[in-house]
Structure 1
Amino acid sequence: MTTVNTNEIALGIESFGDDDAPLVLLVGGTTMLSWPDALCERLAAGGRRVVRYDLRDSGESTTKDPEAPAYTLRDLAADAAALVDELGDGPAHLAGIGVGGMVAQVAVLDHPGAFSALTLVGTRAVAPGPPDDDLPDHDQAAMSRLFARPMPDWTDRHAVAEFAATGAEILGNDPAAARATSGRIWDRTPGTAPPVQMANQMGMVFSRLDCKPRWRERLPGIQVPTLVVHGRRDAFFPVGNGEAIAREIPGARLLVLEKAATAIPDAAVREVAEAMLMLR
């Protein structure tokens, strides 16, 4: 792992594969560990240089004030394009997961010359908050359970990891995998201040981010090969959101993971990697 300076900030990155291979840039959602190690390794074995990175206010990237971010969604999109330029491997296959998928959509729309392909995993085409009337909202029963839990002691690694595991169980993800990933995120978080930990563990910065203007209406303008991956059991961004994106981006392929929720499970890594490697 290292950092790359761009747009007057540092972005934490981790690379897999041959530096001379075509670049696949993975936008964290919000940390790079949203992307499974096994997927990165499979993509690298398929002849790609894989770089996953932390968004601002998470992981090894510049952290200032997650409760009052002085940047916008479009700034995060510009970071992705600038990172491709700094790495010198463009145009790149860009992939975003969860809220990182929002960054990826705007990045391809605002900076089309930087990207050759797009993968969107478990995301939607409108900003955090109430969705459009034709899009399914969060599963309210799951959200009630998720947000009824008391916050953990953010100075206690074990408590934070257990909090992540119970959240994963509510959302339909693997609690053991979430526990392990949460511990790794905790280890990489700069300090135990609750806002910083919440930004790393829960992506809370997105609830305070300026995500205007809307971009959904611009999706038909995306002209790169696009893969949309969505878990059938996703309670946070239900699968109808992925289906809508795939309808609205010309020629997009929709891959529904029947037994997945918000995370990419180990059992689906091979299928997702093979689908991503088909994009050029």
Structure 2
Amino acid sequence: MVPVNGIELCVETFGEPGDPALLLIAAASSSMDWWDDEFCRRLAAGGRFVVRYDHRDTGRSTSFGPGPPPYSDVDLAHDALGVLDALNLRRAHLVGLSMGGGLAQRIAVERPHRLLSLTLIASSTTFPPYALSQVDAERRWSDRRCAVEGIVSATRSTGGPFTAEDQHLRRLAERVFDRTQDMTAARTNHLRCAAGPPVSDRLGEISAPTLILHGTLDPVVPPAQAEAMCAEIPGSRLVWLEGVGHEYPPMAVWAQVIDEILDEAGRRTQPA
């Protein structure tokens, strides 16, 4: 647990502190558990000091209780920088997924000196990329069985043929539930979160080497948005993940995703 911006965030690291830092920024309503342990270890084996953390209102980090939260996406982006500060990391390779990609874009535009490289997975220029559904708003997230079923169902609905089997997803959902202070807040607050000043019209200012990874079957962020984002960010590369939906990289594409991330990060290897 580390103090960040007047709250506490739960942080975990993999690898050697002397290696260039790589910060994983999770999607909305997601604790760091969604960045699979083995996925993190493989990134670290590539010579990166990998950092993952629980957003506020997820996992063990500070929870504000259910309802419109007293923070915006600007605060969530500042939390990511606060994690780096708490670990005495001046710069890092940023890897953001979905909403996490939006936060990484904001950092790349507003704090470019903190980046070594930028990787955007299943990302969009819209914050958040999807709204709170009536079903999610009414689900009994405080009930473990109901919450686990809801997480598995939501993951399956936006995934693809490579999404993990239900048994694996259920174990993950149980871990998420057991680590989370307030599951209702975790599943709903980010989707009620206010948006700060948009940065979508400033993507042309991004100077860090940028990689865009996008699933060909993403039902939340249409592939055309990934193409548009690539056209806006100078020198960026767009790599398609065949058969992948709107989800954390499934194991079937880990080798491709890890190789691409390390290759992009390898363009800037000076210590953070």
Q: Same fold (TM over 0.5)?
A: yes
TM-score, structure 2 as length reference: 0.87
The secondary structure found in structure 1 opposite 2:10 is strand
Aligned equivalents of 1:43 and 1:75: distance in 2?
27
**Kindly tell me: are residues 179 and 241 of structure 1, through their superposed partners in 2, closer, same or farther at Cα, counting changes over 3 Å?**
farther
> How big is each residue's C-alpha offset from its partner over 1:32-81, in whole Å with a ceiling of 9 and x where there is no partner?
12322232111101011101011111111111134121111111111212
Structure 2 gap segments, 5+ residues each:
none
Aligned residue for 1:197? 183
Structure 2 match to 1:241: 225
Give % identity: 36
Shift of 1:159: 2.9
The match for 1:272 among 253, 257, 263 is 257
Which of 172, 187, 204 is 2:178 aligned to? 187
Q: Which residue of 2 aligns with 1:174?
A: 164
The question of whether the paired residues in 1 share the 8 Å contact of 2:122 and 2:221 is answered with yes
1:193 paired residue number: none
For residues 114 and 243 of structure 2, the distance between their equivalents in structure 1, rounded to whole angstroms, comes to: 33
Task: Give the aligned residue type for 1:182.
Answer: A
**2:14–2:40 CA contact under 8 A, matched in 1:** yes
CA deviation after TM superposition for structure 1 residue 244, in Å:
1.7
- Given that 1:84 and 1:114 are in contact with CA atoms closer than 8 Å, whether structure 2 keeps it comes out as no
Unaligned runs of 5+ in 1: 130-137, 191-195
Equivalence for 2:204 = 220
- Report the AA paired with residue 9 of structure 1: I
User: What secondary structure sits across from 1:59 in the alignment?
Assistant: coil
Distance 1:66 1:246, change over 3 A: farther
Q: Secondary structure at the match of 1:68?
A: coil
Q: Which residue of 2 aligns with 1:134?
A: none
Alignment root-mean-square deviation, CA? 2.1
Letter in 2 for 1:174: A
State which of 23, 28, 33 in structure 2 corresponds to 1:25: 23
Q: Does 1:124 align with 2:114?
A: no
Letter in 2 for 1:4: V
- 1:250 and 2:234 matched: yes
CA shift in 2, pair 1:75/1:45, >3 Å: same
| CA distance in structure 2 between the partners assigned to 1:28 and 1:149 by the alignment | 19
The 1:68/1:22 distance shift into structure 2, 3 A limit, reads: same
> Following the alignment from structure 1 to structure 2, what is the Cα–Cα distance between the partners of residues 276 and 184?
27
Offset at residue 149 of structure 1 (A) = 7.9
* Larger RCO (CA under 8 A, 6+ residues apart): 2
* 2:73–2:195 contact (8 Å) kept in structure 1: yes
The answer as to whether partners of 1:39 and 1:270 remain within 8 angstroms in 2 is: no
Deviation digits for residues 144-164 of structure 1, max 9, x if unmatched? xx8668955434323322222
The 8 Å contact of residues 64 and 185 in structure 2, kept in 1 or not, is answered as no
Q: 1:234 to 1:214 in 2, by over 3 A?
A: same
Residues 89-128 of structure 1: pairs in structure 2 closer than 5 A:
89-128=89-128
In structure 2, C-alpha distance between the alignment counterparts of 1:212 and 1:51, rounded to whole Å: 25
Q: Among 134, 140, 146, which residue is 1:159 paired with?
A: 146
CA distance in 2, matches of 1:74, 1:227: 22
8 A contact 1:38–1:266 mirrored in 2: no
Q: Which amino acid is the alignment partner of residue 56 of structure 2?
A: R
Amino acid at match of 1:42: R
Amino acid at match of 2:115: F
Q: Which amino acid aligns with 1:163?
A: G
2:116 is paired with a residue whose SS is: strand
What amino acid does structure 2 have at the position aligned with 1:170? S
2:83 matched residue in structure 1: 83
Residue range with higher mean Cα deviation, 247-256 or 76-85: 76-85
